[in-house]
Structure 1
């Protein structure tokens, strides 16, 4: 039995100058790994900032992780940069078919700084990957001795080591005296069927449009000619300026348009407000409710669904799970 560790770079691998720590160097710097009772089988995939990761790379890692599990791995750990970690985790959560834990982690302080958090996060992630209690939970983010479900976790601070939180639910578990304590077990959701091929991902463009005060919507002109989908990050519970409502309705007649909130917490409503540009008005014009999904995860889900050839009914049903 072993834990499969895949490294993708990021702050956790920074060692000063241009040097990036390999997986072997990362694990060598973590006291306590030897006491896990299961070795870490390391695969160095990339050493890049997380801003340079792609969906295709992440899906390749999922494929490699699936092979590792088929060969007997107890669980999987991925290290990467934190900037896009919440999106990576959600990608994995949509396509990971196994009960074995798939854990993502990283660091906010690199090894050249006082108090680097990478070793502690990697050790905690490995403990969760080994834990029977973490099975059947899909993709997890382990950071600062907390366990977060991929569907809810957010990076909420640019520098804090406690940056990862789950505004709508809180962590689903914690590490206490080196033990994994799962406090609640959210039911796994249906993922994205099929495998999005690189060519299909390249051909699938999904825009993210954040609505702002006195927004004229000019950037939406011609969008349906260049993109296959759109996610709107609206005000509050799903509102936009009234002038944008017919523009978004016209777009929804041509491409899927998902309505989310730019607030960072809470759900889109359905029936509370009824003015032009309100949530009920926009949903009546054909926009799809993103429910509790934040705009970034909604974009990931819509792109995966479109890249795998899902139609309007399937797309609506996939987002309905997040209401």
Structure 2
């Protein structure tokens, strides 16, 4: 039984004048040899996470599934932190195995004093081979904290404590070399059907953040270029009155998901009824995004459209 490690570059692999390989990363981790499991390394394309694509992530998921079939006890992926929360949520939708799929990285690169990459990688490997972490889907491990993919967010640009789950907190910790899962969130229904990378690349979903005094000009023509829209609304699901007609028209032609730009808490359903408030918008055909933040909602909507899922509203209802 081994841990399958896939490396995708990022800060954790920034070794000055060259990109570090998986062998370089594991060699810098004290205690990894005492893990009791060999680490089998596959170096994938080393890119900044801003250049990662959903199609590339699906390729990694496919390779990880093959590693599980070959006997791996769990999977670890290292990548840049900028899009890690989106990668984790995408993986969580399509990962069919009970074995853990763990993502980690670093905020301080190996050339700096106190790099966090080695500790994060060691904790991630411990989680990946722990029976306690089975049946939890995709997990994010930083600073010895274990986060569920659907709640975790990057909340700071530089802090080594950047990853947090504002709505719930971490679901577990790594303490004295032991993986301690404190709560086990139920696995939700993942993606039904297969998301082909080429189809996913061709599926366009826009994300529109609402701002004060928004004129809605950027919504014009959206139906000609995109198949779906996620609205990052104000507060608990509110938009300026002036945007209501445009959003209603778009909701008649494509799925339009209502989320909050705040980053924590759910969209309300039955509190505010004025024009542009959540009751009004949901009655006009917008879909309740529940507790999902706008970035994860976009990932989910894109996957649903790429697989021709008919019940988009039902898929999002799990997150209310």
Shift of 1:123: 0.1
- 1-structure distance, mates of 2:67, 2:315: 28
Q: Secondary structure at the match of 2:73?
A: strand
Cα contact 2:194–2:307 (8 A) shared by 1: yes
- 2-structure distance, mates of 1:202, 1:37: 40
- 2-structure distance, mates of 1:158, 1:70: 37
Name 2:306's counterpart in structure 1.
307
Name 2:16's counterpart in structure 1.
16
Q: RMSD of the alignment, in Å? A: 0.6
Deviations 1:159-187 (A, max 9, x none): 00000000001000001111100000000
Deviations 1:14-59 (A, max 9, x none): 0002x00000111011010100100000000111000000001100
- 2-structure distance, mates of 1:137, 1:197: 24
1:28-107 alignment, distance < 5 Å: 28-107=27-106
1:1-323 alignment, distance < 5 Å: 1-17=1-17, 19-311=18-310, 314-323=311-320
Cα contact 2:55–2:198 (8 A) shared by 1: no
- 2-structure distance, mates of 1:153, 1:71: 30
- 2-structure distance, mates of 1:209, 1:106: 28
Q: How many residues align?
A: 320
- 1-structure distance, mates of 2:200, 2:148: 25
Shift of 1:153: 0.1
Deviations 1:238-274 (A, max 9, x none): 0000111111011000000000000010000001000
- 1-structure distance, mates of 2:27, 2:299: 34
- 2-structure distance, mates of 1:106, 1:46: 15
- 1-structure distance, mates of 2:132, 2:196: 33
TM-score when scaled to structure 2? Answer: 0.99
Stretches of structure 2 lacking an aligned partner (at least 5 in a row) = none
Shift of 1:310: 1.0
Q: Secondary structure at the match of 1:194?
A: coil
Shift of 1:194: 1.6
- 1-structure distance, mates of 2:187, 2:201: 28
Q: Secondary structure at the match of 2:207?
A: strand
Shift of 1:198: 2.5
Cα contact 2:106–2:116 (8 A) shared by 1: yes
Shift of 1:202: 2.4
Shift of 1:83: 0.2
- 2-structure distance, mates of 1:154, 1:253: 31
- 2-structure distance, mates of 1:199, 1:14: 30
Q: Secondary structure at the match of 1:133?
A: helix
Q: Secondary structure at the match of 2:241?
A: coil
Stretches of structure 1 lacking an aligned partner (at least 5 in a row) = none
